[in-house]
């Protein structure tokens, strides 16, 4: 049954004034950090900065109120940039909001059906590959604003995007480049000095460079594009509520994009929550977290917002700042709301080149680049899966990359498990089988008899150079059997029956025994031919051989006159 219990309810038990002080400080810190990131991610995604801020407010509030983690901070993230940008380019902003709502429904259903734990089955090689791929895609998406290129609309596909950027390099705007580079340098230096100077550490680097660049622009009037010049500023009010109209034909086309948003949101939010667990010695509820993410993505589009998920960087900042309960996340959302209602007019002077520099820095820190340097330490399967997922993410599509990455990882896993499955002959002395070792063959099976390894049993069908009267399979080292393994066992039994031989199975573990009994295979071979130990199987084989000998040696009946 579905269990809906937000972590906030458990966190309030024993909540005191001291913890509130820590949560309040952390909430304010994360709130001011989330402001520039929300605007930068929104603009990079082809949305307005207003949409990014309201996504952070609404989704961030609901994720903290209803989530399954004590410290998770939700909102728009860099990982969504290529996904959102592609949907906006192909279907428009209105349909993006519909796709986000559909993704929210999918996320809630995943949590309600208790599928949160299944996200952990995605291999590290796939996660690292698409994370690094997304980082590269984000970096490429910022070339236009970083260089100030005159491009009306960038294509959504990789080759079209790179071709357009190359063809418009002659439109580079040097003042924009200067502001972007200066912002990047200030951001790097601020982050370096913040590790040594405690006063600087209290102000997040992205917000610091945003304040500095905006102040310089107000004083001297930089000849660069700003939020005001492109978007007309940020409204100092709550946006009009409601979803855009849509038709059923378009709705069908949005299923795949919505699934992409849902899968990426689930992966990133649960990965962020798991990282947070290690930092605060806690354990989140993945199903509750997915339901909260679903609700957040269903409600955010009503405010004009788009896809949101758990943000690793903001969650880590929350933990470092002392946040230990969802109250910190709630305060972070309220801080953003207060900033919008009080300081929105100042946002019009923010240079877009500065926001681009912030996103570039996010993309650089987002990638796990050391994974490429360490590839030679790992197996060919790991290297192929990681690099393949990375390249497909960059060149084609995240969804396709995850799908193919999972297929590659699964195939390599099947091959590995298949290699662990083997068959070894058991030497039988004459006194072990009543002096008839030539008429009894015995083999011990190891591993798992599943569809990827069922062909190993074909050896017993085609390669055995003797024609035994009894074939014994000792299966104490077999941990599992699937229907393909069962089918090859049935084929083996029929083959033995055609030769007039008997198949005996012994030493079964619980799972193999269960499937052989439930499938009726035990009835096919006869319950007397299923034994608990190898000596019992040998004794049964000796008895069968003796009965066969008696039948052969018995004198023919004499006919009466």
Q: Supply the pLDDT for residue 556.
A: 52
Chain Cα centroid distance, residue 135: 16
pLDDT band for 302, please (50, 70, 90 cuts): very high
Beta-carbon contacts of 313 under 8 Å, excluding residues fewer than 6 positions away, are 37, 362, 365
Q: Mean pLDDT highest for which of 22-36, 50-64, 149-163, 521-535? A: 50-64
Q: Please, which pLDDT band fits residue 364 given cuts at 50, 70 and 90?
A: confident
Q: Which of 275-284, 433-442, 490-499, 552-561 is the least confident region?
A: 552-561
Dihedral angle sign, alpha carbons of residues 142, 147, 151, 155:
negative
Given a cut of 70, whether residue 553 has pLDDT beyond it is no
Residues 195-201, mean pLDDT to the nearest whole number: 79
Q: How far apart are CA 475 and CA 485, in angstroms?
A: 13
Q: Which residues contact 323 (CB under 8 A, 6 or more apart)?
A: 22, 23, 26, 27, 30, 71, 329
Looking up tokens 């199903």 gives 287
What one-character-per-residue DSSP string does 493-514 give? HHHHHHTT-EEEEES--HHHHH
- pLDDT for 213 beyond 80: yes
Where is mean pLDDT largest: 128-137, 450-459, 523-532? 523-532
Sheet holding 440-449, edge to edge: 422-425, 440-449, 470-481, 502-506, 530-531
Averaged over 511-536, what is the pLDDT?
91
Q: What percent of the chain stands above pLDDT 70?
A: 94
Banded pLDDT at 561 (limits 50, 70, 90):
very low
Q: How far apart are CA 176 and CA 109, in angstroms?
A: 45
Q: Where are the domains of the chain?
A: 19-146+167-377, 422-551
Q: How high is the pLDDT of residue 63?
A: 96
For residue 197, how many other CB atoms are within 10 A of its CB?
Answer: 11
Contact (Cβ atoms closer than 8 angstroms) between residue 289 and residue 310: yes
pLDDT, position 337: 93
As a whole number of angstroms, the distance between CA 336 and CA 64 comes to 14
Half-sphere exposure of 29 toward its Cβ, with a 13 Å CA cutoff? 25
CA torsion 381→382→387→389, rounded to 10°? 90
* pLDDT at residue 372 greater than cutoff 80: yes
8 A C-beta contact, residue 109 and residue 294: yes
Mean pLDDT of the chain: 86
User: Would you place residue 430 in the very low, low, confident or very high pLDDT band (cuts 50, 70, 90)?
Assistant: low
Q: What is the pLDDT of residue 158?
A: 84
Over range 142-160, report the average pLDDT: 85
* pLDDT value for 52: 94
What's the pLDDT at 100? 95
Q: How confident is the model at residue 501 (pLDDT cuts 50, 70, 90)?
A: confident
Under the banding of pLDDT at 50, 70 and 90, the label for residue 287 is very high
- Taking residues 188-215, report their average pLDDT: 84
Quick one: which of 174, 208, 170 has its CA closest to 192?
208
pLDDT tens track for 434-477: 555 567 888 899 988 888 777 777 666 665 556 778 889 999 99
What is the rounded distance in angstroms from the CA atom of residue 412 to the CA atom of residue 428?
37
| CA–CA gap between residue 319 and residue 328 (Å, rounded) | 10
Helix (H) or strand (E) holding 503: strand 502-506
- In this predicted structure, the answer to whether residue 146 has a pLDDT above a threshold of 60 is yes
Cα separation, 521 vs 505, in Å, equals 11
Contact 417, 447 (CB under 8 A): yes
Q: What is the mean pLDDT of residues 302-306?
A: 93
Class at the top of the CATH hierarchy for domain 422-551: alpha beta
Residues contacting residue 453 through CB under 8 Å, at least 6 positions apart: 417, 418, 421, 447, 485
The answer to whether 468 and 504 are in contact (CB under 8 A) is: no
pTM of the model: 0.75
């Amino acid at each position: 049954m579905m269990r809906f219990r937000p972590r906030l309810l458990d966190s309030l038990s024993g909540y005191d004034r001291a913890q509130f002080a820590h949560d309040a400080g952390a909430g304010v810190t994360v709130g001011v950090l989330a402001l520039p990131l929300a605007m930068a991610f929104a603009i990079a995604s082809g949305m307005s900065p207003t949409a990014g801020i309201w996504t952070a407010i609404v989704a961030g509030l609901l994720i903290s109120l209803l989530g399954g983690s004590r410290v998770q901070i939700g909102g728009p993230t860099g990982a969504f940039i290529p996904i959102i940008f592609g949907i906006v380019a192909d279907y428009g902003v209105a349909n993006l909001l519909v796709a986000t709502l559909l993704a929210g429904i999918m996320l809630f259903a995943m949590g309600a059906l208790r599928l949160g734990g299944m996200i952990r089955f995605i291999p590290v090689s796939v996660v690292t590959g698409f994370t690094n791929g997304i980082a590269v895609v984000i970096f490429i998406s910022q070339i236009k604003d970083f260089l100030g290129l005159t491009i009306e609309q960038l294509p959504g596909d990789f080759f079209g995007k790179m071709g357009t950027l190359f063809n418009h390099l002659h439109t580079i705007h040097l003042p924009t480049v200067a502001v972007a580079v200066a912002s990047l340098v200030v951001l790097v230096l601020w982050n370096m000095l913040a590790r040594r100077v405690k006063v600087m550490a209290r102000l997040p680097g992205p917000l610091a460079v945003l304040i500095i660049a905006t102040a310089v622009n107000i004083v001297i009037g930089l000849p660069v594009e700003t939020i005001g010049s492109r978007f007309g500023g940020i409204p100092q009010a709550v946006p009009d509520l409601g979803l855009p109209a849509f038709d059923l034909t378009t709705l069908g086309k949005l299923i795949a994009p919505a699934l992409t948003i849902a899968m990426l949101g689930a992966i990133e939010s649960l990965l962020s929550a798991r990282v947070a667990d290690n930092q605060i010695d806690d354990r989140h509820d993945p199903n509750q977290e997915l339901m909260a993410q679903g609700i957040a993505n269903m409600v955010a589009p009503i405010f004009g917002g788009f896809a949101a998920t758990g943000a690793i960087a903001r969650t880590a900042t929350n933990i470092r700042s002392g946040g230990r309960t969802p109250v910190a996340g709630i305060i972070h959302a309220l801080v953003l709301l207060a900033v919008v209602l009080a300081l929105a007019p100042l946002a019009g002077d923010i240079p877009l080149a500065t926001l681009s520099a912030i996103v570039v820095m996010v993309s650089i820190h987002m990638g796990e680049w050391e994974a490429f340097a360490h590839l030679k330490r790992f197996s060919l399967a790991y290297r192929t899966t990681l690099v393949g997922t990375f390249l497909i993410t960059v060149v084609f599509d995240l969804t396709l990359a995850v799908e193919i990455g999972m297929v590659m990882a699964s195939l390599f896993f099947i091959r590995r498990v298949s290699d662990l499955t083997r068959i070894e002959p058991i030497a039988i002395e004459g006194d072990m089988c009543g002096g008839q070792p030539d008429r009894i063959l015995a083999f011990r099976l190891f591993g798992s008899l599943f569809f990827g390894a069922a062909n190993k049993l074909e050896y017993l069908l085609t390669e055995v150079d003797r024609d035994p009267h009894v074939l014994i399979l000792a299966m104490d080292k077999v941990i599992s059997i699937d229907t393909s393994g069962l089918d090859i066992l049935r084929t083996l039994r029929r083959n033995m029956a055609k030769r007039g031989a008997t198949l005996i199975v012994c030493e079964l573990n619980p799972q193999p025994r269960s499937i052989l009994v439930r499938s009726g295979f035990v009835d096919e071979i006869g319950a007397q031919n299923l034994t608990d130990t190898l000596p019992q199987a040998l004794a049964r084989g000796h008895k069968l051989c003796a009965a066969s000998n008696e039948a052969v040696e018995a004198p023919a009946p004499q006919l009466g006159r």
